Structure 1
Amino acid sequence: VKIEKRQMNTRLFLSFIFVFILQGSFSLQAEYANQTERLDALTPDNKIIAEDLITFMQASDDKYFAWVNKINEQNLPALGDQLINDENFDWTTEYSDYNIRVVRGPVIEKTGRMLSEGKMTSPGRGDKTLVWGRFYSIDIHPKTPLVGMLHAT
Structure 2
Amino acid sequence: MGAGKTTVGGLVADALGRRLRDTDQDVEALTGRTISEIFVDDGEAAFRALERAAVAEALATHDGVLSLGGGAVLDPGTRDLLAGHDVVFLRVGLSDAVKRVGLGSSRPLLLGNVRGRIKALLDERTPIYESVATLSVETDGRTAEDVATEILTALAATA
Q: Output the TM-score relative to the length of structure 1.
A: 0.26
- Structure with the greater alpha carbon radius of gyration: 1
Greater RCO, 1 or 2 (C-alpha within 8 Å, sep 6+):
2
Q: Judging by fraction of residues, say which structure has more strand.
A: 1
